[in-house]
Chains A and B, each alone.
Chain A
Amino acid sequence: MPKRKLTPLPAAAFQILLALVDDDLHGYGIMRHVAEQTGGRMRLGPGTLYTSIRTLLEAKLIEEIDGRENAKGHEERRRYYRLTPTGRKLVRSEAERLADLLRVARAKNVLRGEYV
């Protein structure tokens, strides 16, 4: 079931995976990263964010880690999420798939050159 949900990888799930590539993040962190990545176009609401996170957790693409120390040295009680090796592989293959698509699109002159 979860697998079927992730093929093709939904936009939100892909953005979340992408956000977690550099760093482990909590929910709000993920939301902000995704907003930045998309130039503010995608603002994940709590419902969308956590249903996606649950799907990714069930597919073992990300994992939950307990609170970690924040900048002030206090341990935060928030839950953080980290990309698993499988997740990292999936981001990569998804990115490659998109890159292939992009190549085709460019070859067909669908895109104006200046954007890419």
Chain B
Amino acid sequence: MSEKLYSLLLRLFPSEFRQRFGEEAIQLFRDRFREEKGFWLRLRLWADLICDLVVTVPREHVRVEPQIAEVSAAGVKRGPAFQITPRATTRFVAIFLGIAVSLAVLCIFALSVRYVIRHPATAPGLVPRALDSGVSSGNERSQAPNTDSLKLDTRTQKRVIEAAATNLREHYVDRPLGQQVADSLLAQERNGGYDGVTDPAAFADLVTQQMRNMNADATLTYFRQILPQPTGAPTAQQLAGYRREMEESNCTFEAVQILKDNVGYFKLNSFPDASVCGAKAVSAMAELNHADAVIFDLRDNRGGFPAMTTLIASYLFDHPEYWYNPRENTTEHSWTASPVRGNRLADKPVYILTSRTTISGAEQFAYDLKMLKRATLVGERTAGAAHAGAFFRIDDHFGMGITEVEAINPFSKSNWDGVGVEPDVKIDAADALNTAEKLAEAKLAKK
């Protein structure tokens, strides 16, 4: 032990000294250690050694090799010269260790870079939250997961149910109810309630049904199958795919035109990601800037990104307006960016065309403008899906939506979830545009 300690201390000396005298120094220590026994002698031995190190180690490190001294002395006499002084070569082990450590560092770096590129969402802030929170659109259930390879066994079921219970306990907006639902799922699992359910889709439906049986806001909490993916975040390919899709479909903006009597008409079939389609939305609104009234046609709108609803709504006010979104509580995005410079639409009549399939983000747009008495809704009652749950991935195959926040609703206690947004002028969706045009015409004629 003591000898090991001393040989460690010896490493303080330059390698050249150690190579030449290291063995002998340890031998000397060994001899002294053997001879000098007893507490005080040992104490004296260590004191001697420490003093010795303190004095000689610094001296050894500043010591000039005799060869170098001779060479430099000779060099001064003869003028500039280039000479090689023999030095101890680096040990093989040191070279090997150096290579191994460098390789390891390089590998770790390369792997981490690859990981970040593959899963950009692990770096916070890179991906809009809406993309991975499952509230982005109304078509969550339309994905067709590839589950050929997956057969559920009881162990997987147990693991998935436990994860689901943890999510419910930690995230469900109503904590006691979340606890209750979680306990019931766990009990179901313990009692063999899922035995024999090997099909993932059936399993997901069963769990969803059980959760819904226990809580009120039915559409908000669900459990579903997802595509096998390493993480819950969209991949770079998915993002690129989305971007391409938006470019091909003109950001789902089907028509931006001026109808007769200078009524602007904007048919948008989703509220796309503002970071991808923001510029298109701005130019669409610019085209309508000189209209005397605007009709937003949301009859085929399938929802989308809350930020886009805020962006478009910003043109309809001359001051920042609280923009209610049931999916999140008040943030800086909760206010419209009004007034928009150069915008002339803030005081123009607005009509919104709705249908039975107007859903999610489109319902938010309609609901908020209706509540703010800024728009007249023409058409049918909307679908009634707030999708206000945040999405939690459990593993490669399952995820669940959970109502996480109870956003402040300035208008009334309930939003459109489950009931839809009631239009001001109830009429078949097919006739909505005609009706709206007539309404606008009449209103403009009054002026």
Give A residues with C-beta under 8 Å from B.
1-2, 26-28, 31, 43-51, 53-54, 58, 78-79
| B66 near A28: Cβ-Cβ < 8 Å | no
Q: How far is B53's CA from A43's CA once the two chains are assembled, in angstroms?
A: 13
Per-residue interface assignment for chain B, residues 11 to 30, with 1 indicating a CB less than 8 Å from any chain A CB and 0 otherwise: 00100010011001101110
Interface CB pairs A-B, < 8 A, 7: A1-B64, A26-B27, A43-B44, A45-B56, A50-B17, A51-B60, A58-B66
Q: How far is the CB of A93 from chain B (nearest CB, A)?
A: 23
A53 to B56, CA, bound (A): 13
Task: Kindly report which residue of chain A lies nearest to residue B63, judged by CB atoms.
Answer: A51
CA distance A27 to B26 in the complex (A): 10
Q: Which chain B residues numbered 23 to 65 have a C-beta less than 8 Å away from chain A? A: 24-25, 27-29, 31-32, 44, 48-49, 51-53, 55-57, 59-60, 64
Any A CB within 8 A of the CB of B69 = yes
A54 vs B21: C-alpha distance when bound (angstroms): 9
**CA gap between A45 and B51 in the complex, in Å:** 8
**Of A46, A51, A79, which contacts B29 at CB under 8 A?**
A46
Report if A45-B24 is in contact (Cβ < 8 Å); known contacts: A1-B69, A51-B59: no
Interface string of B244-270 (1 = CB under 8 A from A): 000000000000000000000000000
For the complex, give the distance between the alpha carbons of A78 and B27 in Å. 9
The reply to whether A51 and B31 form a contact with Cβ atoms under 8 Å apart is no
Given contacts A1-B64, A2-B66, contact A45 B21 (CB under 8 A): no
Q: How far is the CA of A5 from the CA of B218 in the complex (A)?
A: 92
Q: Inside 8 A of B44's CB, which chain A residues have their CB?
A: 43
Known A1-B64, A51-B56, A54-B20; further 4 A-B contacts with Cβ < 8 A: A26-B27, A27-B28, A50-B24, A79-B24
Write the nearest CB–CB distance from B48 to chain A, whole angstroms.
Answer: 5
In the complex the two chains form, is A27's CB within 8 Å of B49's CB?
no
Cβ-closest 8 pairs across A and B: A45-B52, A47-B56, A46-B25, A50-B21, A28-B31, A47-B52, A1-B69, A27-B28
> Which residue of B25, B49, B59 is within 8 Å of A50 (Cβ)?
B25
Once the chains bind, are A48 and B28 in contact (CB under 8 Å)? no
Separation of A44 and B51 alpha carbons in the complex (Å) = 10
Tell me the smallest distance from the CB of B209 to a CB of chain A, in Å: 80
Residue of B whose beta carbon sits closest to that of A58: B66
Task: Check if B52 sits within 8 Å of A28, measured CB to CB.
Answer: no
Measured CB to CB, the nearest residue on chain A to B13 is A47
B38 → chain A closest CB, angstroms: 15
The distance from the CB of B18 to the nearest CB of chain A, in whole angstroms, is 10
For B48, give its contact among A1, A27, A45, A50 (CB under 8 Å). Answer: A45
- Interface SS of chain B: helix
CB closest residue in chain A, given B25: A46
Q: Quick one: which of B25, B49, B66 contacts A1, CB cutoff 8 A?
A: B66
**With A50-B17, A54-B20, A54-B21: A28-B53 Cβ-Cβ less than 8 Å:** no
Taking a contact as CB atoms under 8 Å apart, the answer to whether B52 and A27 are in contact is no
Which residues of B lie under 8 Å from residue A45 when comparing CB positions? 48-49, 51-53, 56
In the bound complex, what is the Cα–Cα distance between A46 and B44 (angstroms)?
Answer: 14
Question: B32 — which chain A residues lie within 8 A by C-beta?
Answer: 28, 31
Residues of A within 8 A of B28 (CB): 27-28, 31, 46, 49
Residues of A contacting B66 in the complex (Cβ-Cβ under 8 angstroms): 1-2, 58
Q: Contact check, B17 vs A46: say whether CB atoms are below 8 A apart.
A: no
A28 B21 Cβ-Cβ under 8 A? no
CB distance from A114 to the nearest CB of B (A): 31
Q: How far is the CA of A50 from the CA of B25 in the complex (A)?
A: 8
Instruction: Report B271 CB to chain A, min CB distance, Å.
Output: 78
Which residue of chain B has the shortest Cβ distance to A52 in the bound complex? B56
When A1-B69, A78-B27 are in contact, do A43 and B48 touch as well, CB less than 8 Å? yes
Whole-angstrom distance between the Cβ of A82 and the nearest chain B Cβ: 15
- List B contacts of A46 (CB < 8 A): 10, 21, 24-25, 28-29, 49, 52
CA distance A45 to B28 in the complex (A): 9
Closest A residue, CB atoms, query B44? A43
Contact B53 A47 (CB under 8 A): yes
CB proximity of B186 to chain A, nearest CB, Å: 68
A34 to B56, CA, bound (A): 18
Output the least CB separation between A94 and chain B (Å). Answer: 22
Contact with A along B57-80 (1 / 0, CB 8 A): 101100010100110000000000
